[in-house]
């Protein structure tokens, strides 16, 4: 039986090296190579490989993002390819089929292939799919610490970095994250968002509004102590007089 294998790495030399080293494995069939995460998602969905050599660090969608967009019931066996140090790699040991620490050699790839071979022949890939699901759950939990937000929508999973957010609007127990021309709904409280984002230069404008100060272009006084904050894209937000004091303190520091 051929082990249908996909190679995903944003560095062409790394893809070429993996492909070259796999030529010594008679039962490995390389069905494709991908240079970024978006290509990888399409290829995995279309070709359903048995095994994927997946780079962790890629621009745009990284290796974890790729897995997060896939159907958890149809995950392939995964060998992570990473330049992380041994401390960071411990997380992979518990969840992945295997990992390759760059730079790698033939003996190390051969060992990874042998592990995949054993699992596929023993009909145990589901064990490793369960491990991957566990890894994705950990990543989801960590992402909600606002280092990277995971937003699940119908038909897709969106990954948003806090610095990409223009402003946030509260609606009940949810937040609308305004990112460019898009808006995403996240189940979280405004208080929690303010606490986590304050160090990233986000400022509370009212009970229901939080703004990324990097997006602010202009401030204009209004009536009754309120004022208007205008963003670079023309969006006008109201600064409540209740929150005016901290805004004035910020202006004093900047001035």
Domains, the chain, ordered by start: 3-144 (3.40.50.2300), 161-254 (2.40.50.1020)
Query: Within 10 A of 13 (CB to CB), how many other CB atoms are there?
Result: 8
Instruction: Please report, in tens digits, the pLDDT of each residue of the chain (255 residues total).
Output: 799 999 999 999 999 999 999 998 999 999 999 999 889 999 999 999 999 999 887 877 778 778 877 776 677 888 888 876 554 565 566 556 777 877 778 888 898 899 888 888 765 556 666 666 666 566 555 545 567 787 877 667 788 888 999 999 998 778 999 999 999 988 787 887 887 787 778 889 998 999 999 999 998 888 777 889 999 999 999 998 888 877 777 766 655
- Alpha carbon 108 to its chain's center: 28
Minimal CA–CA distance to 108: which of 131, 79, 77? 79
Report the alpha-carbon distance of residue 184 to residue 175 in Å, rounded. Answer: 8
Report the alpha-carbon distance of residue 133 to residue 231 in Å, rounded. Answer: 40
Q: What is the pTM of this model?
A: 0.54
* Cα separation of the two ends of the chain: 70
Strands 227-231 and 216-221: antiparallel
Report the alpha-carbon distance of residue 230 to residue 248 in Å, rounded. Answer: 16
């Amino acid at each position: 039986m051929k082990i249908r294998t996909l190679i995903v790495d944003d560095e062409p030399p790394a893809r070429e090296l993996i492909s070259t080293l796999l030529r010594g494995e008679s039962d490995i069939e390389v069905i494709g190579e991908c240079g970024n995460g978006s290509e990888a998602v399409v290829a995995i969905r279309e070709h359903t490989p048995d095994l994927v050599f997946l780079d962790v660090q890629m621009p745009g969608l990284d290796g974890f993002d790729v897995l997060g967009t896939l159907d958890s019931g149809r995950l392939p066996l995964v060998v992570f390819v990473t330049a992380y140090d041994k401390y960071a790699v411990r997380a992979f040991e518990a969840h992945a089929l295997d990992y390759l620490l760059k730079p790698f050699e033939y003996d190390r790839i051969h060992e990874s292939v042998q592990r995949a071979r054993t699992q596929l022949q023993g009909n145990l890939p589901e064990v490793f799919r369960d491990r991957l699901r566990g890894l994705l759950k950990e990543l989801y939990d960590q992402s909600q610490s606002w280092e990277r937000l995971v937003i699940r929508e119908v038909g897709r999973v969106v990954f948003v970095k806090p610095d990409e957010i223009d402003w946030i609007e509260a609606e009940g127990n949810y937040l609308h994250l305004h990112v460019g021309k898009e808006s995403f709904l996240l189940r979280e409280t405004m208080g929690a968002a303010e606490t986590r984002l304050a160090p990233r230069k986000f400022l509370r404008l009212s009970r229901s509004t939080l703004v990324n100060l990097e997006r602010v272009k202009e401030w204009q006084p209004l009536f009754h102590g309120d004022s208007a904050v205008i963003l670079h894209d023309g969006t006008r937000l109201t600064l409540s007089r209740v929150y005016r004091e901290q805004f004035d303190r910020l202006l004093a520091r900047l001035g």
